[in-house]
């Protein structure tokens, strides 16, 4: 058990914990006590390795039923991780299906993926790629 004795030490420790949490870490990963630290001191490290997914649509304008390819990279996701394509339908993200199956791909050893779909809903459509709780920003496709 680490005892934090002074107010300034507690404030510094709280700052490190906050920085770790803002960087996407957890309380457990944000601060690590060291056996070499003198009594009353906290050794803290911030975690900055949060998973992320990028997305790019090509083309960004397509005729109804035309092919759209989504490509991107998935940093900090293991090779073989499954990514799925989702579309914003009236404010709710729904997994895109093709022939009754989810549009999904696996992340390759280079950390990239490729997904395709043939949208038929007219207008500006917004897509994202998701793997577990990690999702990309959106990519828009105009379907005419």
Domain boundaries, the chain: 1-50, 52-143
Total residue length of the chain: 144
Alpha-carbon gap, residue 33 to 40, rounded angstroms: 11
In percent, the amount of the chain with pLDDT more than 90 equals 60
At 48 the pLDDT is: 53
pLDDT tens readout for residues 50-79:
789 999 999 999 999 999 999 999 988 888
Alpha-carbon gap, residue 107 to 77, rounded angstroms: 8
Closest CA to 112 of 75, 86, 59: 75
At 38 the pLDDT is: 53
pLDDT tens readout for residues 12-58:
455 544 544 444 444 444 444 434 445 554 444 444 567 899 999 99
Mean pLDDT over residues 133-141, rounded? 95
Q: 86 and 43 in contact (C-beta within 8 Å)?
A: no
Average pLDDT over the chain reads: 78
pLDDT tens readout for residues 70-129:
999 998 888 899 999 999 999 999 999 998 899 999 999 999 999 999 999 999 999 999
Name the architecture of domain 52-143.
Answer: Sandwich (2.60)
């Amino acid at each position: 058990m680490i005892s934090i004795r002074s107010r300034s030490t507690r404030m510094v420790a709280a700052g490190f914990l906050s920085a770790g949490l803002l960087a996407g870490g957890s309380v457990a990963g944000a601060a690590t006590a060291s056996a070499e630290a003198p009594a009353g001191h906290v050794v803290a490290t911030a975690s900055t390795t949060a998973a992320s997914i990028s997305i790019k649509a090509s083309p960004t304008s397509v005729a109804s039923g035309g092919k759209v390819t989504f490509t991107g990279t998935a940093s900090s996701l293991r090779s073989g991780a499954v990514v799925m394509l989702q579309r914003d339908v009236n404010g709710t993200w729904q997994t895109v299906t093709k022939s009754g199956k989810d549009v999904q791909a696996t992340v390759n050893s280079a950390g990239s993926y490729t997904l395709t779909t043939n949208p038929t809903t007219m207008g500006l459509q917004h897509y994202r790629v998701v793997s577990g709780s990690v999702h990309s920003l959106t990519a828009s496709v105009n379907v005419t």
